[in-house]
Amino acid sequence: MKIKEIVSVLEEMAPLAYAEDFDNVGLLVGDQEAEATGILVCHDALENIIDEAMAKKCNLVVCFHPILFSGLKKITGKNYVERAVIKAIKNDITIYAVHTALDNHQEGVNKIFCDALGLVNTKILIPKQNYIRKLVTYTIPENAEEVRNALFDAGAGTIGNYENCSFNSKGIGTYMGNEHSNPQVGERFEFVQGDEIKIEVTFEKHLENKILKALFRSHAYEEVAYEIYDLQNQHQNIGLGMIGELKNPMKEKEFLLFAKEKMQADGIRHSNFIGKEIKKVAVLGGAGSFAIKNAIRAGADAYLTADLKYHQFYEAENRLLLADIGHFESERYTKNYIVEYLRKKILNFAVILSEENSNPVKYL
């Protein structure tokens, strides 16, 4: 199996188009045309992880955090990033990162976080904006079903929990071909007027090329008339953070001790207790200070995230319990999810969970 085949599976799990603009996801180091010998899944692709990959005969490292986040002007081995990259290149180790592509997925980082806490009735906290497009096309009635099905198969027409969604309306189409035309209906220079079906479907923008190929392949006309629009709708199933409910309400201290145990945190920093029972909980794996107001607006009783600064705890405004459980801790089960996903998709192939703990934060 070539590495590029595994990359295709990873992109099904966490489409690169889901990633935030600031991020650096996908294939970071290595040759995707190489034959894969094994996959090592980790949180951070540090130098000791590359050593572990070599020892376990894995030439593909799949990490959550990208070891290459900003540009490198020199690679001299002067810091931990450069040393890891140099060692990977010297030993033909490929590195692939998922990061916010998996953060934004409805089954990704924050759903894993929610599941660890046993939250139910979960939904995206900050739905992704400007990600939905609409395709409008026109064809003869005899061709409409074939076109619709081709668009559905390419990924169009999914809205929330529903698939194969479209709107179809009848109308009258007109055209007249020139000397270079080869019309499906009528002759060159003939004014044709006939029944047509207008088909409208929405789709995620990263699927546009695939959907257009399906449209052109299935359409009866020589020249396919179509329009694509950007929609302002939020994508309810893609976005950062998640909010859900505890099955049974808890007192604030009880909840924090519960979260500490479930997320295996060595310590939790939190805002003032306000005497509020915790039922509705918002989470955001990694640095999530930017979403405090979103958690408040969503009616959360508590918001769990990481990397909060001193003054950001004031932003709780005595309206919710704000807690920093640690960056690594908030994402700790993500690598387990990746391993389980790959093992289901790639049978009879070594997919190994790293034994290294890459958390750089230690506690007394």
Average pLDDT over residues 339-364: 95
The reported pLDDT for the residue numbered 167 is 98
Average pLDDT over residues 240-264: 98
With a cut of 90, say whether residue 161 has pLDDT above it.
no
CA–CA distance, 45 with 94 (Å, rounded to integer): 10
- Digit-coded pLDDT (tens) for 72-87: 889 999 999 999 999 9
Q: How confident is the model at residue 174 (pLDDT cuts 50, 70, 90)?
A: very high
Average pLDDT over residues 343-348: 94
Of 330, 294, 285, which is closest to residue 129 (Cα–Cα)?
294
Supply the mean pLDDT for the chain. Answer: 96
- Digit-coded pLDDT (tens) for 192-214: 999 999 999 999 999 999 999 99
Average pLDDT over residues 158-175: 94
Q: How confident is the model at residue 188 (pLDDT cuts 50, 70, 90)?
A: very high
With a cut of 90, say whether residue 261 has pLDDT above it.
yes
The reported pLDDT for the residue numbered 70 is 85
The reported pLDDT for the residue numbered 71 is 82
- Digit-coded pLDDT (tens) for 104-118: 999 999 999 999 999
CA–CA distance, 323 with 284 (Å, rounded to integer): 11
Q: How confident is the model at residue 184 (pLDDT cuts 50, 70, 90)?
A: confident
CA atoms within 13 Å, Cβ hemisphere of 199: 27
Tokens 């959360």: give the residue.
Answer: 300
The reported pLDDT for the residue numbered 114 is 98
The reported pLDDT for the residue numbered 156 is 97
Percent of the chain's residues with pLDDT above 70: 100
Q: Secondary structure of the chain in the HEC alphabet?
A: CEHHHHHHHHHHHCCHHHCCCCCCCEEEECCCCCECCCEEEEEECCHHHHHHHHHCCCCEEEEEECCCCCCCCCCCCCCHHHHHHHHHHHCCCEEEECHHHHHCECCCHHHHHHHHHCCEEEEEEEEECCCEEEEEEEECHHHHHHHHHHHHHCCCCCECCECCCCEEEEEEEEECCCCCCCCCCCCCCCCEEEEEEEEEEEEEHHHHHHHHHHHHHHCCCCCCCEEEEECCCCEEEEEEEEEEEEEEEECHHHHHHHHHHHCCCCCCEECCCCCCCEEEEEEEEEECHHHHHHHHHCCCCEEEEECCCHHHHHHHCCCCEEEECCHHHHCCCHHHHHHHHHHHHCCCCCEEECCCCCCCCCCC
Percent of the chain's residues with pLDDT above 90: 95
The pTM of the full predicted model, rounded to 2 decimals, is: 0.89
With a cut of 90, say whether residue 185 has pLDDT above it.
no
With a cut of 90, say whether residue 226 has pLDDT above it.
yes
Q: How confident is the model at residue 282 (pLDDT cuts 50, 70, 90)?
A: very high
Q: How confident is the model at residue 157 (pLDDT cuts 50, 70, 90)?
A: very high
322 C-beta neighbours (distance < 10 Å), count: 26
- Digit-coded pLDDT (tens) for 325-343: 999 999 999 999 999 999 9
The reported pLDDT for the residue numbered 104 is 96
Tokens 């359409």: give the residue.
Answer: 219
